[in-house]
Structure 1
């Protein structure tokens, strides 16, 4: 039998101690093995690389020489070793402890049913950073090279946040530090740690019914009247709906809205949970975007300047919407975009240069003309169709790497099942 024991610094409960006392193999981090009483005669494996430790567990299970205990931090079913064991075909018995995220929010005195929890452990830090840009309360599970200092450098100065850095929770070196992102870049931090990234004004969200990120918007492609705009300079709802479908904004993404005008596209992307930057050169339009952002209760960074020069100061985008600018701007955006670029054009003559700019940067480009006719009332309780101006939408997608070959289903390891009791007739 494999038992996974969660450890949070407190004494092990009786069931965990009993499993540990009869283990023939004990696997865990060096600090976990040093913190518990390993039975005499039991073999220990320090979990440096997870793969190597799993190989040792497989060998022990195949020999059927005795029980295996795996020691892990906190709740091992939460971004922990339980997933890796199941992927190997094992069916472990799990005895969890208090998770590091629960402890961190307890130290901060905050509820966390409305918090977004992300992991930067062995993963791309930029997605965790984008989540912190877009959401008011995020817990980041860190790793060496992806910790408080790196988070601070990515968020400062554009995104005012408060950090609560929780080191060695439950351990002898526990320390909880509140600081600003700039300060986090200047001081050393001990591993392991969890970082709470908080918007101080919104650190307690509304009462909800679902944990973590709020559900997506109930509607999108909002009517133009939902945004303050100048002389109808706003992306029409029908065009915005198609653009959103091609941009695919989601939690962890960064989206640019270039020549943002009213900021309608950036705001809609933010409503889906993406981090968004609205780029606009006109000062009055920037003020208008900020007003629209406040009205919709989302987070959108407004960057005033001329594209493409200003783009050098922005974090890499997953997707870009270009509502203003020529082929030079489109190509500059395509060079940085990790997934897609969508361009809205009023004239057919600009379609070919835009297609060429996208393909020159390795994107697969397509185009479509969109035109909607809206029902409009006439006197006498009758209606006509009022045509909106046609818009050409050009988009390019960066070809994704081929998906990995499907992994074979792990062989189920033999299980001893108790006989069912006989039914009474």
Structure 2
């Protein structure tokens, strides 16, 4: 049997009697040096482990082959970004008994004095920062570690123009415990370093929010054309728009760039899909810029940012994005794709209404070594009822090119 024991924050005062009893019944203790020091009176064998999981696996295999009962000591709670998934995968035939512990996330929310049943809980230890939501609709508890320090997280939010309030707890329950209430901008400029700290990111204050954000409302995919505020600026029609967005593969945390945004129909729908991320709408036409802002206000979308100017020049100050959608390009598709801050593996989607633009787009994707390049052409026909008959109203055919940026 393997017993995986959560020892909580790591100080003796926070070790419950149930843990003491389980440890006393064990033949072998396996854990880090600080965890083993919590049980100085243990009479069995002790094996010190480091972060080398292969070494830990070999130690446990040796103990199990001897028919002994092993207790693996982990800080916090075994089931919360800890060893439980790894142990179940590596030892599928063994009986694994779990004793939960108090996690630093629980302690942090207790220190902050706020409930956490509706919070989002994440870890960026060994994970990319783009798993963090840019649009905060509820508190987010974050475990930090490795290269992703609290300062790096603050810099990440500053890069995308966000400045959430932050509570930061370092070395919770230890004598050197530090609790800090700040925001991303202040933390980014702090000279103090916090190792393996826990953070709470807070949503925008209620008084600064729109009366009711459409991001929090259920909405079907594919907004009707007539719902958008229109002018003389061309707009991507619903039938094409939904195909473009489907090719883009937008998920809730996506960061999206929409070049040649026009009235903002694609930008608005992309922002609704990426409700935890953000959308940058690049547009040079002053009339179109005002339409984008009016539609943003109408749909109460707060995670859309208008970038006034023409691409590729206007792309210089935009942070990394996961998706790049190109509508208007003025024959500069290759230059735009080259300058777009698209991350490796990110999706590019280009629309074209002429064969020449199609050819330029295909050449650009191939020359820039995009992978999984695909092209489809779509022509939608709407049937308008006139008295007792319906007549065809054909829309112009549109080519949709897509591909994935190579590494």
1:46-195, aligned counterparts within 5 Å?
46-64=49-67, 66-89=68-91, 90-125=94-129, 127-129=130-132, 131-133=133-135, 137-156=139-158, 158-185=161-188, 186-195=190-199
Does the aligned pair in 2 maintain the 1:85–1:91 contact within 8 Å? Answer: no
1:367 aligned onto 2:375:
yes
- Which runs of no fewer than 5 residues in structure 2 stay unpaired? 210-214
Aligned to 1:413: none
Identify if the C-alpha distance between structure 1 residues 25 and 229 changes in structure 2 by more than 3 Å, giving closer, same or farther: farther
**Residue in 2 aligned with 1:267?**
268
Deviation string 1:61-104 (CA, Å, 9 cap, x unpaired) is 1222x321122222211221100100102442111123332332
Deviation of 1:359 after TM superposition, in Å, equals 0.8
Q: Deviations over 1:41-73 (max 9, x none)?
A: 431313333332232122211222x32112222
Q: Which residue of 2 aligns with 1:408?
A: none
Aligned to 2:364: 357
Partner of 1:321: 325
Contact 1:370 1:392 in 2 (8 A): yes
Alignment correspondent of 1:300: 304
Give structure 1 regions of 4+ aligned residues with deviation exceeding 4 angstroms. 133-136, 202-205, 214-218, 334-337
Distance 2:206 2:49 in 1: 42
Map of 1:194-233 to 2, 5 A cutoff? 194-201=198-205, 218-231=219-232, 233=234
Change (3 A) 1:336 1:92: closer
Gaps of 5+ in 1: 206-213, 401-425
Aligned partner (choices 275, 282, 285) of residue 279 of structure 1: 282
Q: Does the C-alpha gap of structure 1 residues 239 and 36 become closer, same or farther in structure 2, counting only changes over 3 Å?
A: farther
Q: Which residue of 2 aligns with 1:409?
A: none
Asked if 1:26 corresponds to 2:43, the answer is no
**Residue 146 (structure 1) shift:** 0.1
> Which residue, 333, 336, 349 being the options, matches 2:340?
333
Contact kept, 8 Å, 1:119 with 1:140, in 2: the verdict is yes
187-196 vs 278-287, which moves further: 278-287
Q: Measure the CA separation in 2 of the matches of 1:51 and 1:287.
A: 59
Report the secondary structure of 1:313's partner residue. Answer: coil
Tell me the alpha carbon deviations over residues 334-375 of structure 1, each in whole angstroms, 9 at most, x when there is no partner. 875532210112222211011101111111433222111123
Separation (CA, whole Å) in 1 of partners of 2:138 and 2:242 = 26
Please report the RMSD computed on the Cα atoms of aligned residues, expressed in angstroms: 2.9
Post-superposition shift, 1:149? Answer: 0.5
Task: Give TM-score scaled by structure 1 length.
Answer: 0.82
Provide the TM-score with structure 2 as the length reference: 0.85
